[in-house]
Amino acid sequence: MKVKISITLSEDLLETIDVMSASYKNRSEFIEYALRKAIAQMIRNDRNARDIEIINRHLDELNAEAEDVLAYQVIP
């Protein structure tokens, strides 16, 4: 279901939207597409930040395990 809303945008942004939305049916379709892409990227960024936080929290343990594995691969 589509819902009508009213938003206020700067003129330069609206001009860019008009140029970029030329290959879409209308501004609304382009804005919805752009928002979905931006939101998906924000979700990926949040997930990546959480993953990095988890890795950093376990950094010492992961490094020790990597060193142990490498020790088995070294040819004396």
Confidence of residue 34 (pLDDT cuts 50, 70, 90): very high
Q: What is the mean pLDDT of residues 3-26?
A: 96
- Where does residue 66 rank: exposed (0-12), middle (13-18), buried (19+ CB within 10 A)? exposed
- For residues 51 and 76, which has the higher predicted lDDT (pLDDT)? 51
Average pLDDT over the chain reads: 94
Q: What is the mean pLDDT of residues 41-58?
A: 97
- The answer, as to whether pTM is greater than 0.85, is no
d(CA 75, CA 4): 69
Domain ranges of the chain: 15-73
